Amino acid sequence: MSVNLQDLKAITKKTNLRYLTLAILFITTAVNYIDRSALSVAAPVMNKDLQLDAVALGIAFSGFNWAYAFLQIPGGWLLDRFGARVVYGIGLFLWSLFTFFQGWVSGFLMLFLLRFVVGAAEAPSFPGNSRLTAMWFPQHERGRAVSVYNSAQYFGLALFTPVLALLLQKYGWHMIFYVAGIAGIVVSFFWFKHIHEPKKHPKANQAEIDYILEGGGLANAGDKPIKIRWAHAKLLLTNRQMVGIYIAQFCLNTIVWFFLTWFPTYLVEEKHMSMLKVGFMASIPYAGAFFGGIIGGYISDYLLKRGKSLGAARKTPIIIGFLFSSVIVLANYTSSPALIMLIMSVSFFAKGMAGATWTLVGDMSPKEIIGLSGGIFNTSGNLAGIVIPIVVGYILSTTHSFSAALFFIGGVLLIGAFSYIFIVNKVERIELPPELKEEKQPQLKVQA
């Protein structure tokens, strides 16, 4: 029986399911950040209805991160044990449901608790993003893949912050949480239908899996799950390069959590803008961060293709991003709305470039514990989500001005740049020693 050459090529041509996976990660991350930022948009009106002062509002803002930061490591462990599809998907449904419930809050305690639960449910999200991109993408495509899902947070904020502001003006702050929550619940159904790890995807062929593996992707990372022990965390926490990126991620997230919590209030109270105007003006820096994230990823992969070392390719856009993010302090020296938004947009564009930090989790972590590594990394970063809302709240309560807060954020960003320059040395994958590669032992079934 003769075989048609075109039929043979169609059979052997690799599928490209990794791009569908990336598209869903993009949408999910956009929804993730809409849910995170809903409170910041509602806050200038909501705080009056609930009678919250600056300190109470700062603590309410931080409620998300008390859970999110400290559950990163357990979330990473769950990802390594049960896979991203199940753990991340359940988290997506739950954080959306409890975002919806925030539309019913009647006081500080209820608001804090609901934000806390949303933070707990979102804990596996970014370690899950990192795990899936490391599994689905070869190394030479990974910088762009990470930049796509990482920039999705800003795409969602740029596109939907004006929408949330319109909802606030027309229907009140309750509607913001209803709409954001329902959007995430709908996306969770698409997640379970289309997201799988490479070897478990019903439509991914062997040619695509081979392509991923030959390029340094970790398509088989979940084949032999290991029993996670304290020794694995200790290995990561005592490695110089990993400690360097942990410190820097805290520094980078100081500006993120200023924007996600206090930025609309800053524009209303410090710069005297109307809430509707804030909705549109706030979207401009987010758009800048979106493009900065995409450009940072492309610069990294371009340098890698041009023969630069992995360290130079990854660290160059990150360090540039940290340095230029610190220009946020210049907003203290002007009252021009146009100039303020330009400064904020440059600063957040640069933050987007520096967001390539997530590529290093996939590049440097032991392949057996990427979820755990991503959890520690994101714990470090999101401690800023606890510190920044409260610190800014106290600065505002004490000085009645945001000036000192902007100087504080700019200084911390410079520390992040120095961490990448002086602490993070060679970028290479850490190998687990033989005694830490013990495979997960089969569990005994106990009859009741």
Q: Cα angle vertex 366, ends 201, 313, to 5°? A: 90
Which pLDDT band, with edges at 50, 70 and 90, does 1 fall under? very low
Q: Look at residue 445 and tell me whether its pLDDT is greater than 70.
A: no
CA–CA distance, 189 with 93 (Å, rounded to integer): 8
Average pLDDT taken over every residue of the chain: 84
Which pLDDT band, with edges at 50, 70 and 90, does 121 fall under? very high
In this structure, of 153-157, 224-228, 244-248, the range with the lowest mean pLDDT score is 224-228
Radius of gyration of the chain (CA): 22
The residues with which 439 forms a beta bridge, in sequence order, are 226
pLDDT at 226: 64
What six digits make up the tokens of 382? 């999101």
Q: What value does the mean pLDDT take over residues 49-60?
A: 83
Share of the chain above pLDDT 90, in %: 29
Residue type at 355 in one-letter notation: G
- Which tens digit of pLDDT belongs to each residue from 376-403? 888 888 888 888 888 988 898 888 888 9
| Closest alpha carbon to 224 in 14, 444, 3, 432 | 432
Q: Look at residue 446 and tell me whether its pLDDT is greater than 80.
A: no
CA distance readout (Å), 275 to 34, 129, 163: 17, 33, 12
Q: Look at residue 276 and tell me whether its pLDDT is greater than 70.
A: no
The residues with which 226 forms a beta bridge, in sequence order, are 439
Q: What value does the mean pLDDT take over residues 84-98?
A: 94
Q: Look at residue 323 and tell me whether its pLDDT is greater than 70.
A: yes
In this structure, of 80-89, 180-189, 238-247, 261-270, the range with the lowest mean pLDDT score is 261-270
Residue type at 440 in one-letter notation: K
pLDDT at 443: 40
Q: Look at residue 225 and tell me whether its pLDDT is greater than 70.
A: no
Higher pLDDT, residue 441 or 355: 355
Phi, psi of 134 (to 5 degrees): -65, -30
What six digits make up the tokens of 404? 């000192």
| Closest alpha carbon to 320 in 341, 291, 296, 343 | 296
In this structure, of 142-151, 189-198, 287-296, the range with the lowest mean pLDDT score is 142-151
Instruction: Tell the residue number behind the tokens 């769950």, with chain if given.
Output: 78
Q: Look at residue 444 and tell me whether its pLDDT is greater than 50.
A: no
- Which tens digit of pLDDT belongs to each residue from 14-28? 888 889 999 999 999
pLDDT at 419: 94
Q: Look at residue 136 and tell me whether its pLDDT is greater than 90.
A: no
pLDDT at 184: 94
Count of C-beta atoms within a 10 Å radius of residue 429? 14
In this structure, of 29-33, 357-361, 390-394, the range with the lowest mean pLDDT score is 357-361
Give the dihedral sign, CA 93/390/353/360: negative
pLDDT at 193: 92
CA distance readout (Å), 349 to 36, 189, 296: 20, 32, 10
Burial pattern 250-285, b for ≥16 Cβ within 10 A else e, equals: bbbbbbbbbbbbbbbbbbbbbbebebebbbebbbeb
Q: Look at residue 314 and tell me whether its pLDDT is greater than 80.
A: yes
Length of the chain, please? 448
Secondary structure, 3-state, 372-417: HHHHHHHHHHHCHHHHHHHHHHHHHHHHCCCHHHHHHHHHHHHHHH
What is the distance between the terminal CA atoms of the chain, rounded to a whole angstrom? 58
Count of C-beta atoms within a 10 Å radius of residue 95? 28
Angle between the N-to-C axes of helices 54-70 and 17-49, in degrees from 0 to 180, rounded to the nearest 10:
150
Q: Look at residue 337 and tell me whether its pLDDT is greater than 60.
A: yes
Which pLDDT band, with edges at 50, 70 and 90, does 41 fall under? confident
- Which tens digit of pLDDT belongs to each residue from 228-268? 678 888 888 899 989 999 999 999 999 988 887 888 788 88
Provide the 3-class DSSP secondary structure of residue 277: helix
pLDDT at 275: 65
CA–CA distance, 151 with 130 (Å, rounded to integer): 13
Share of the chain above pLDDT 70, in %: 92
CA–CA distance, 19 with 306 (Å, rounded to integer): 24
Q: Look at residue 342 and tell me whether its pLDDT is greater than 60.
A: yes
Instruction: Specify whether the CB–CB gap between 207 and 195 falls below 8 A.
Output: no
Q: Look at residue 53 and tell me whether its pLDDT is greater than 60.
A: yes
pLDDT at 96: 96
CA–CA distance, 41 with 165 (Å, rounded to integer): 7
Q: What value does the mean pLDDT take over residues 316-339?
A: 92
